């Protein structure tokens, strides 16, 4: 059987992914001991994977070797299994590759058998998956948000950010967002209950954030870069900065420390990074809590769908140009 897959040929320059990745054809190999093969139905587009495309070796994951398949989170149906606990026909979420089929070690890929008893299977790559876990952990644990506090989220219209905003509201906090464009900001406030959304592209962000009464207690940072400086200037005393991601710095490996870092001392701030694989073992508990909110209609996520493996790079680019609202997925024709 033929298997098409995206191969990383070179380190991409900015968002020029077409020059760095190519769609290849190969013969699908059989699953070895401990392996499963999935027919992929959805590919999850995740901003953090941009870092794996670079050659930096000090990230939380080593760089992908050139000439190898592009890795990513996939959801699909098992068509062959030599792994204990996984059967043909099961649906799983796992770290596979951007391909029609993925052959993976069931343990190393973090394969999780999925509950089919949900309204929308895509939720396993949204609120009920890694983005949901990350949002909940970052707001509640790392950010330690309490009812009545002011929680600010950057990349608020994206998958992780939009979930974090809604979770902040569910936990009784005030939710503020930062996003690109007045139209996106309006939609987030009107449809997702944000108390206010700040357009970082066309407004003076530092001045705008100064209007948050009482200052920012928790900053859920998805972006880093200059936005972080504007936020630090407006943090409340004893505020917490939960560092989830640094999307502004993934492409070129820029490291831009905030010029006003001194405010960490002056305001007695806590700055802490967190990383979802560190709390994978808590997944079932996190999913169960998130599912109660999804089922109650309190937590939802729009899906930005692109059809066809051949169009993967169009979908992926949206993460870095702000072309998405909610979760970016590629749906494969099966």
Asked whether position 279 contacts ligand NAP by CB under 6 A, the answer is: no
- State the burial class of residue 246 (Cβ atoms within 10 Å of its Cβ: 0-12, 13-18, 19+): buried
DSSP string across 70-91? PEEEEEEEEEEE-STT--TT-E
Query: In the complex, what is the shortest distance from the CB of residue 30 to ligand NAP, in angstroms, rounded to a whole number?
Result: 32
Q: How far lies 109's CA from each of 40, 71, 95, 240, in Å?
A: 14, 10, 5, 33
Number of residues this chain uses to bind ligand NAP (CB under 6 A): 33
Query: In the complex, what is the shortest distance from the CB of residue 133 to ligand NAP, in angstroms, rounded to a whole number?
Result: 8
Asked whether position 247 contacts ligand NAP by CB under 6 A, the answer is: yes
288 vs 77: CA distance, rounded Å:
22
Contact residue for ligand NAP among 12, 48, 96, 239 (CB under 6 A): 48
Asked whether position 158 contacts ligand NAP by CB under 6 A, the answer is: yes
Contact residue for ligand NAP among 153, 248, 301, 332 (CB under 6 A): 248
Binding to ligand NAP (CB under 6 A) within 69-128 occurs at none
Contact residue for ligand NAP among 222, 230, 287, 317 (CB under 6 A): 222
Query: In the complex, what is the shortest distance from the CB of residue 48 to ligand NAP, in angstroms, rounded to a whole number?
Result: 4
Query: What are 291's two structure tokens?
Result: 């599912």
**Helix, strand or coil, per DSSP, at residue 241:** strand
Query: What are 276's two structure tokens?
Result: 């979802």
Cβ contacts of 204 within 8 Å, gap of 6 or more: none
**Locus of tokens 């357009």:** 199
Would you say 159 or 306 has its CB closer to ligand NAP? 159
Asked whether position 322 contacts ligand NAP by CB under 6 A, the answer is: yes
Query: In the complex, what is the shortest distance from the CB of residue 250 to ligand NAP, in angstroms, rounded to a whole number?
Result: 7
Give the DSSP H/E element, type plus range, for residue 43. strand 35-44
Would you say 179 or 332 has its CB closer to ligand NAP? 179
Asked whether position 43 contacts ligand NAP by CB under 6 A, the answer is: no
Would you say 39 or 122 has its CB closer to ligand NAP? 122
Q: Which one of the spans 1-9, 70-78, 218-226, 292-300 is the region binding ligand NAP (CB under 6 A)?
A: 218-226
226 vs 171: CA distance, rounded Å:
29
Would you say 59 or 308 has its CB closer to ligand NAP? 59
Q: Which residues pair with 304 in a beta bridge?
A: 328
CA dihedral 267, 265, 269, 200 (to 10 degrees): 80
Angle at 272 (CA atoms; ends 269, 274), nearest 5 degrees: 155
Query: In the complex, what is the shortest distance from the CB of residue 293 to ligand NAP, in angstroms, rounded to a whole number?
Result: 18
Give the DSSP H/E element, type plus range, for residue 207. helix 205-209
Would you say 28 or 243 has its CB closer to ligand NAP? 243
Asked whether position 157 contacts ligand NAP by CB under 6 A, the answer is: yes
Q: Which of 36, 135, 34 is nearest to 92 (CA)?
A: 36
Task: Report the interface residues with ligand NAP, using CB under 6 A.
Answer: 46-48, 130-131, 134, 155, 157-161, 179-181, 184, 222-223, 225, 227, 244-248, 274-276, 319-320, 322, 324, 328
């Amino acid at each position: 059987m033929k298997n098409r897959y995206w191969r990383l040929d070179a380190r991409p320059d900015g968002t020029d992914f077409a020059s760095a990745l190519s769609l290849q054809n190969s013969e699908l190999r059989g699953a070895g001991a401990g392996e499963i093969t999935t027919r992929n139905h959805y590919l999850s587009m995740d901003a953090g994977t941009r870092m794996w495309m670079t050659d930096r070796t000090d990230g939380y994951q080593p760089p992908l070797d050139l000439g190898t398949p592009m890795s990513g989170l996939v959801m699909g149906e098992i068509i062959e299994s030599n792994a204990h606990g996984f059967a043909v026909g099961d649906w799983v979420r796992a770290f596979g590759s951007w391909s029609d089929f993925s052959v993976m070690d069931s343990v190393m890929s973090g394969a999780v058998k999925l509950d089919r008893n949900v309204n929308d299977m895509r939720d396993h790559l949204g609120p009920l998956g890694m983005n949901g876990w990350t949002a909940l952990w970052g707001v509640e644990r790392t950010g330690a948000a309490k009812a009545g506090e002011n929680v600010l989220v950057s990349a608020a219209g994206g998958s992780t950010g939009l979930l974090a905003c809604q979770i902040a509201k569910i936990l009784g906090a005030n939710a503020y967002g930062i996003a690109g464009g007045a139209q996106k900001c309006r939609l987030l406030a009107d449809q997702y209950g944000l108390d206010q959304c700040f357009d970082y592209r066309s407004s003076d962000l530092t001045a705008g954030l100064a209007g948050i009464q009482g200052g920012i207690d928790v900053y859920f940072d998805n972006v880093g870069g200059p936005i972080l400086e504007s936020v630090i200037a407006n943090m409340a005393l004893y505020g917490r900065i939960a560092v989830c991601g640094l999307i502004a710095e993934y492409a070129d490996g820029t490291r831009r420390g905030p010029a006003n870092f001194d405010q960490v001392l002056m305001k007695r701030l806590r700055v802490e990074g967190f990383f979802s694989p560190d709390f994978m073992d808590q997944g079932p508990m996190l999913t169960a809590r998130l599912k109660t909110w999804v089922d109650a209609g309190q937590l939802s996520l729009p899906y930005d769908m692109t059809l066809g493996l051949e169009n993967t790079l169009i979908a992926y680019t949206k993460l870095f140009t702000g072309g998405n609202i909610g979760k970016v997925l590629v749906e494969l024709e099966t």
